[in-house]
Every structure is written in C-alpha cells, then in structure tokens.
Amino acid sequence: MNGKDDLQELEARFLAEIEKAGDERALEDIRVAALGKKGEISTRMKGLGKLPPEERKSMGQALNALKSRIAEAIAARREVLKQQALAARLEKERVDVTLPVRPEHKGSIHPVSHVWEEVVEIFADLGFSVAEGPHIETDWYNFEALNIPPEHPARQEHDTFYFHRKDDGTRMLLRTHTSPVQIRTMESTPPPIRIIAPGRTFRCDSDQTHTPMFHQVEALVIDEETHMGHLKWTLEEFCKAFFETDSVKMRFRASHFPFTEPSMEVDINCSWEGGQVKVGEGDDWLEILGSGMVHPNVIRAGGLDPERYQGYAFGIGLDRLAMLKYGIPDLRAFFEADLRWLRHYGFSFLQVPTLAGGLSA
Ligand code: PHE
C-alpha cells in the first residue's frame, strides 16, 4: 500500500465532508471521525511504530501536516456556520417597529408626581427655587442642627429608621422629614434664601393617613425682615392656588417644633363621608403642614448670624395634599402599585400642570 496516496484520498474525503457539514453537530462528528482518539488520523499515528524507521519519519510529518490542515478546515467551516446561524436568527427575530403599541401598556403619572409638579409650579411663581438633600442623613442634619439634642423627646415622635452603628459609634438614618435641607441650604447659599425642597421622607408608621415612606415639601425663607405675616400670607396663597378655589377653609393651630418659634400647624377643612374625602365641606380637619419662624439656634447651626437673619419655614405633607385634592381616601393605596388604582387616579403625561393652563385640568 502506498501510504502517501492513501493520505491524499483521506484528506480529500474529509475536506469534502467538512464542506458539506450543515451544522455544528455534523462538523463535530467529522472532527471525532478524523482527529478523535479513535479517529482515522489518530489510528494511523498509532501505527507509525510498525513502519520501518526510514518511512516512519516522513509518514509522521505527513500525518502531522494533514492533522493540522483538517483542524484548520474544521475551524474555518465552524466560523462560516456560526455566521450563517446568526444571520438566520437575526432574520427570524426581526422586529417591526412600525407596528402600533398595544393599548393595555399605556402608563400614567402617579398622583404624587402630579401634585409634586403642581406644588413646584405654584412656588416657582412666588419666586422660590427647588433645593434637594439626601435621603440617608446624619444625626446632625436630621436632628441636632434642627435644635433637637440627643435626649430630646421629639426624637421619639419621629419613629426613625436607623442604619447599623459605624465603628465610631455614629449611625446614619433615613431622614424623617425634609427639614435637614434647611441646614444644607443655609450652609451653601448666602441669604436672601427662598427655597422649597420636595422629596421622600421615612418614618416607621402605617395607617390610613401614614405610610413608612411619604413625601414632604419643605420651604425656607431667610432674610433680614421676613415675619409671621409673610408666612401666613404665603400659606394662604398656596392653598388657594393649589385647591383652585378661594373658599378653602384653613385652621392655624398653635403648636410646637424644636426648630421653629413660634410654631403653628395648619389643617384643611374636609369631610370623610361614604369612604370619600372631600375638601371644603363637612366638619373634619386634616393636618397638612407644620410651620413657624426659624429658631435662632437653627440659623446659627446653618452658619448664619441669628442677630441679623430671620425667616420662616414649613413642611407640607405632599401625599396628604394629593388625598384631599383628588379625593383619595387611603394613603396606603398610593404605594401598592395596583394597576387599577393607578389607572383610576393617574394622570396623562400630557397633563402638565401650569398656572396659566390650569393645575389639574
Ligand atoms: N419637619 C416638620 C415635620 O416633619 C414640619 C415642619 C417643617 C415644621 C418646617 C415647621 C417648620 O413634622
């Protein structure tokens, strides 16, 4: 038998099979038949020992060269098959982007987002800009700088979510109100200051009018002459604009906050009949905000001179505003992500609140 002729024939046969292989499986079978442990080329390699020494060398070289040519041919074919498979898949999975969207996927703007925009719009018109602060706060910004020292009873009322203590004994917390933004703003902005800070706040509390995460809008005005009359006027103007009526009844109640002196809370007249909350009727009241003249200690903590500067602050419950204005009786439903609820109370993304165009229209 002429060994070299035999190899040529073998090579021609394998190359033809490789060329014909229609998928990776068929290619793998050919690889095993040629180069696998019991494959034809491997078997011939094993038989080299039986050849006379002068033939052994040239036959060995020829087999090695054949082996690498077959391996290369298989690799090249594999690449071609891969490209073909990809092209076929791309063809099959083509998306027709001109198809109309499915109607059931229409989203809506959450009432809290809508009310947030309404409030920003009203205060922007009054000359306020929007400030922000972090949700995760230090004890200093959330309490101490706001005139609430470590043992102050007001801390208990806040049902604070704390993080684990750090090595130095301090612990971060989820801000219980937006008031820390008062301090951060005084630190970063020279007076006159006129800001609102809408955002998320957190307290460990849950019932019809409380949820562990809720929203507030802080307001801070600091300059040299601002007084209680300005505060009251601002709140009245805000409520008239927000509820889109002149007849909303507000109740100013003397109250106490460590960071304001004097302090007052504001309630809005409403009724809760038949599982519905309605503003401007009945004889119930819903508390919507706390307010007062900024305490001198707070102004000092913010790095300003309380002998020179004074002003007012208030914090409004944004979700409560939404409940009142849009007649939503249970606060907990706001955050349950129930699609039926969202469809019912949500707003179209085209309903951007503007004072000129109407807030809720
Ligand atoms: N931070 C107070 C609260 O969460 C509200 C408030 C803000 C009161 C500003 C007075 C001034 O209850």
**Along the 361 residues of the chain, how does pLDDT read in single tens digits?**
456 778 899 999 999 999 999 998 999 999 999 999 999 999 998 988 898 988 888 899 999 999 999 999 999 999 999 999 999 999 899 888 888 877 765 788 999 999 999 999 999 999 999 999 999 999 999 999 999 988 887 777 778 999 999 999 999 999 999 999 999 999 999 999 999 999 999 999 888 778 999 999 999 999 999 999 999 999 999 998 998 888 788 999 999 999 999 999 999 888 888 777 788 788 888 889 999 999 999 999 999 999 999 999 999 999 999 988 888 888 889 999 898 999 899 988 777 778 777 777 6
Burial (0-12, 13-18, 19+ Cβ within 10 Å), 195: buried
263 CA closest ligand 1 atom index: 10
Q: How many angstroms separate the CA atoms of 324 and 360, rounded?
A: 13
Q: How many angstroms separate the CA atoms of 134 and 197, rounded?
A: 11
Instruction: Identify the bridge partners of residue 267 per DSSP, sorted by sequence position.
Output: 251, 287
Q: How far is the CA of 199 from the centre of ligand 1 (A)?
A: 13
Q: How many CB atoms lie within 10 A of CB 295?
A: 20
Q: How far is the CA of 200 from the centre of ligand 1 (A)?
A: 14
Q: How far is the CA of 156 from the centre of ligand 1 (A)?
A: 15
Q: How many angstroms separate the CA atoms of 256 and 263, rounded?
A: 5
Q: How far is the CA of 45 from the centre of ligand 1 (A)?
A: 88
Q: How many angstroms separate the CA atoms of 294 and 299, rounded?
A: 7
Best residue for ligand 1 mutational test, from 257, 265, 266, 289 (most atoms within 8 Å of Cβ): 257
Q: How far is the CA of 71 from the centre of ligand 1 (A)?
A: 77
Instruction: Identify the bridge partners of residue 196 per DSSP, sorted by sequence position.
Output: 130, 219
Residue 290 CA to chain centroid, in angstroms? 28
Best residue for ligand 1 mutational test, from 215, 234, 253, 259 (most atoms within 8 Å of Cβ): 259
Coil, helix or strand for 178? coil
What confidence score (pLDDT) does residue 104 get?
63
Place of tokens 């307001």: 219
What confidence score (pLDDT) does residue 1 get?
45
Best residue for ligand 1 mutational test, from 179, 260, 314, 319 (most atoms within 8 Å of Cβ): 179
Record the pTM. 0.70
Name residues whose C-beta falls within 8 Å of residue 219's C-beta, 6 or more positions apart in sequence.
123, 128, 195, 196, 197, 234, 312, 313, 314, 315, 316
Long-range contacts of 265-269 (CB under 8 A, 24+ apart): 265/289, 265/290, 265/291, 266/235, 266/290, 266/291, 266/314, 268/239, 268/243, 268/324
What confidence score (pLDDT) does residue 308 get?
97
User: Cβ < 6 Å from ligand 1: which residues?
Assistant: 177, 179, 257, 260, 290-292, 313-315
Q: How far is the CA of 238 from the centre of ligand 1 (A)?
A: 17
Q: How far is the CA of 261 from the centre of ligand 1 (A)?
A: 12
